[in-house]
Structures are given as C-alpha cells and as structure tokens.
Chain A
C-alpha cells in the first residue's frame, strides 16, 4: 500500500516528462509533499519560494498566466490558509494553478490541529472556478494527474498521508465531476472522498453480518454531477456522508444540497470532524472521531435503523 501523496510524487515526474509546461512551486516541503523527485529531474522547472506560501501562490499564478501549469505544493492547511491570495491571485485571475494540499484530515496525528487540513475543502469550494480533486487510490491519482496536466482550470488537489488500498476495479476511468460506485449495495448509500473511501468500503464489509449492504460512492472531484448524485441518493432510503474534514463546508454540504432538492428525499446523516481536531496517534484520532471502519460501521448501522 502507498499513500496518495506518494503516488502523486511518482505521477508528477511522469507527466512532467510528457508535458514541458508542468512546473513546481515549493514552500520548503519538497520531501513531505513528494515533489523532491521532480526537483532532482527538472531543477530548472522547480521554484523554491521558502516558507512563504502567500508569495508562492502569487508566483504560481504568474507562471500560469504565462502558459505554465504550476503545481504549488504544501500542507493543505497552510496552503488554503492563504485564502485571500488564492481568492484574488488565482481565482479572480482565473489562473490555471494546481494547489496541492497534502496531509488532509486527521492523519497527520501528533502534530495536531495547526497542521491538519480539516477546512481546506470548505475554503476552496467558495471559489466558483476552482475545482477540487481528492483521489481515493493510486489508479485514480495517475488519471487525475493526466487530467490536471492537460486541463487549464484553477484546481485544488487534496492528498493524504496514510497508506491506502486500491478501491477501484481494473479499467476504472476517472471523469471530472462523476461520482463512482465502488461498492454496490442497497438501502443505505455512503458518500465519501479520498482517504475515507477505503475505510467506508471496509465498514460496509463489516455490516454484512447485520444484513446491511451499503452502497459506497467515491466522490473524487467537485463540483459533482448533481443528476448522478440525485439518482444515487434517490435510489436509497438513507444517505450518509462520511468525511475526514470539518462537518461544515465539505462534502456533506455538497451532497446535502442535492439531497434537499429530491422530491422523496432519503434521511440524511453526516459523520465528520465536529471541532478543531487535536494531537494524538492517527489510529486513536480516527477511533475517537468514529472515522475508522468500526466507527463508520456503527454510524451507518444507526442511520440504517
């Protein structure tokens, strides 16, 4: 197993070999964000801005305006913390920057809430032209990177630190905005993105003994296709969103708005982080916040009742 940031680092070098306009803007985190192999192979296309994210975002916007496809990488929390710079220099310039936010969610563990990307999706979703991507496994990372290299939209790529198993079947094709069913079921549908997708799949497996067979949907890019979500939600009695993010502004809001518009809407429940987070071993944090497989299974069991 590998993490989405590891797959990102490998895919970045591959797409950079193919596409000359791919460049990297770094904020002293090349090792942690896995852009170091890119730096070693393409030193002339690697711009070190130091611990100065605001300037890095502006520099990336300027590079994008001149035809490059810059990937500016840092912890998601630090990058999206420069919201006003992203709003203006990237968003209002419609500059084709890829903001790469790593260490999404609670998984950074003992470093605690000042490093945890728990509000990043919420911030990015307030910008109408910025697209959000969060891959659930290696196959999806590689396809997303090909998509991002050839696309021009301002984008936010949310990556995880924890190792994740492959959740997609062979032949999976990533398409922007299209939710993908990774496990077919009935009665309850669970929407997840990124690192919570494999955990939700594992939770669904545990529920079989209770006679509950949830459908698990990977929503790996936003804004999501409304009709597709409506069809999936409408085909179930219960809809649940599970996300490793603050409970306001993330996937729950996205799915909730669609569910709210359904004529015979299913019951809707959200399992997400309700506070600032805290320091601790990742596995204990996920247990505490009920975002491990046991917690998700218990939550879905309650929701399905």
Chain B
C-alpha cells in the first residue's frame, strides 16, 4: 500500500498539519483502491476527502464499536473516501485496499452496513441518508444522549425531494444534534449543478427551512474544524463546504473534476507522485 507511515493516533487530533497529512494519505489510499478495482468515483471521493478527514480524525467522537457519534455518508458513491479514512485510522486492515468492489468484499461499491459494521447507514441511491440521520438524532434526543449525528450529502443529491422533506422535518423539530455537510463541488453526472438544476440561493433556502447555515472552503481543515465546532443549540446545523471535484491538493485536480471517469495508469502514477511529494514536504 502506498504512502505508509502516516497513521492516525489520538494525540494528533489537535494538529492541523497532521490532519492535512492524514487527508493526503486518504487520497493516496482511495486512489489506490479505485485504481486496483478498475472502477469507482474518484472525483467525488477526492472532493470530500478533507471533510471526511476532519470528521474522522478530529471532530467526531469516533469509536470502532460505533457507540459514539454517527456518520452517514448520504453521497454513498464517495465510499472509497470513507473506507480510506477507516484504513488510515487503523479501523480496517491495509490488506483490504485491494478488495474494493470485489466479490464478497466488505468494501462494496456503495456503503453496506450489513457487510461492514463500520458503516453506520447503508446508502447509494441518493437522497435517503439525511432522513435516517434525522431518525438517529431524534432517537438520541429521546434517550437524552449528548452526541452528534453527522450526514455528508452531495450538492447534486440535494435535487432529490426527500432531502428537503428531511430538511423540513429537522428544522421544524429544532434538531440540534444533527449536522449536515453539503459537499458543494457544483458537479454532477451530466455537468454542473448550476446547469442541471440550480440550487441557488442554497443558504437562503436552508435558513428558511430552520437551519443554522455556515459556508466554508471544504478543503481548508481549519475552516472546517471551526464550522464544525460552532453549533446553534436550538437548531440543526448545515455546513456548505465549497469544494472541487477531483481535488488532489493546492492547484491540482484529477481528470479536470470528472464525476466518474477513471484515471489512466499514467494519470494515476502522476497523482501518486504528486501526493507522495506533498507528504515528503510535510503537507
């Protein structure tokens, strides 16, 4: 497995430079998984690698027995980013890097909790994860549990009507234990979100639905951490994370941000070189 030597540990949580290194390592692992599988959504996974890294390695009360905070990857096609975080975090053995999308693998093309217990909610068909996250947050409130349910959505996914049913319900019920993060890369299968079916004005719509809204650079770990720390006690929170699909690092994007194209062997090798150089430079 590539990029070994950067494994997360509890003492590293507060160090932004370490989160950056772990995020780079996640990118290496997810690209290796997709390269070896010969399929997978590289661009979508790279888009949210920083968000997932900040959650998994810093903000979430994470435990492998899944008794702490909940994470719902509603944009299930970015599963390689989550699997990579689990591998980098030591929750999954590195040998499973080569099993993405393989027969009998725990690492299904989209997260399947009946096969992998480290997946909190099975997702894949878009639009459903936020509703389940709402149910879990409602249940925890009823139990009097002080914990957070995080749900990561795609921006294109927000065209699904069910997402707005869930936004409506959570806002009306002042569900403060719920944090939604929208990976806003303005890219979906057939083109830009703006050209396909625009969401704007997204922050206004979410505020009107009763949510506390923050906007951040979704590749800036400091901004993500600050936004995730700041919570309205009386409302659910949503963070609109502005991202670039396929982002490898500063100024560097894979496959021009394609939604589902696969990198060629040469493109893969160049991406690996770039990411390993980042690691060597301490970023």
**Majority SS at the chain A contact face:** helix
Binds B, one of A61-69, A158-166, A207-215, A243-251: A61-69
Evaluate whether A67 and B139 lie within 8 angstroms (CB atoms) in the complex, with A89-B128, A94-B113 already known.
yes
A84 to B131, CA, bound (A): 13
Contact A58 B132 (CB under 8 A): yes
The reply to whether the CB of A88 lies closer than 8 angstroms to some CB of chain B is: yes
What's the minimum C-beta distance from B61 to chain A, rounded to whole angstroms?
Answer: 15
List residues of chain B with CB under 8 Å of any chain A CB. 112-114, 120-125, 127-140, 142-143, 161-162, 165-166, 168-169
**Majority SS at the chain B contact face:** helix
A84 to B168, CA, bound (A): 21
| Set of chain A residues within 8 Å of B112, measured between Cβ atoms | 92
Q: Which of A49, A67, A92 has the most CB of B within 10 A?
A: A92
Contact A49 B169 (CB under 8 A): yes
The reply to whether the CB of A137 lies closer than 8 angstroms to some CB of chain B is: no
Cβ 8 A contact of A92, one of B114, B136, B169: B114
Contact B131 A57 (CB under 8 A): yes
Contact A88 B165 (CB under 8 A): no
Contact B134 A62 (CB under 8 A): yes
Cβ 8 A contact of B143, one of A56, A64, A66, A95: A66
Chain A residues 73 to 93 lying within 8 A of chain B, measured CB to CB, are 84-85, 87-89, 92-93
Chain A residues 7 to 60 lying within 8 A of chain B, measured CB to CB, are 23, 44-45, 47, 49-50, 52, 54-60
Q: With A52-B169, A54-B165, A64-B135 given, name 16 new contacts (CB 8 A).
A: A47-B138, A55-B131, A55-B169, A59-B134, A59-B135, A61-B135, A62-B135, A62-B136, A63-B136, A66-B136, A67-B139, A87-B125, A88-B128, A89-B122, A93-B122, A94-B114
| Set of chain A residues within 8 Å of B168, measured between Cβ atoms | 50, 52, 55
Number of A-B contacts (CB under 8 A): 107
A47 to B135, CA, bound (A): 10
| Set of chain B residues within 8 Å of A67, measured between Cβ atoms | 139, 143
| Set of chain A residues within 8 Å of B137, measured between Cβ atoms | 62
Cβ 8 A contact of B123, one of A23, A54, A68, A88: A88
Nearest CB in chain A to that of B135: its residue = A62
Evaluate whether A63 and B138 lie within 8 angstroms (CB atoms) in the complex, with A55-B131, A57-B131, A58-B130 already known.
yes
What's the minimum C-beta distance from A213 to chain B, rounded to whole angstroms?
Answer: 47
Nearest CB in chain B to that of A23: its residue = B142
| Set of chain A residues within 8 Å of B122, measured between Cβ atoms | 88-89, 92-93
| Set of chain B residues within 8 Å of A88, measured between Cβ atoms | 122-125, 128
What are 25 A-B contacts with C-beta separation under 8 Å? A50-B168, A52-B162, A52-B165, A52-B169, A54-B162, A54-B165, A58-B132, A59-B131, A59-B138, A59-B166, A61-B132, A62-B121, A62-B135, A62-B136, A62-B138, A64-B135, A66-B135, A66-B136, A66-B139, A85-B128, A85-B162, A88-B125, A88-B128, A89-B122, A92-B122
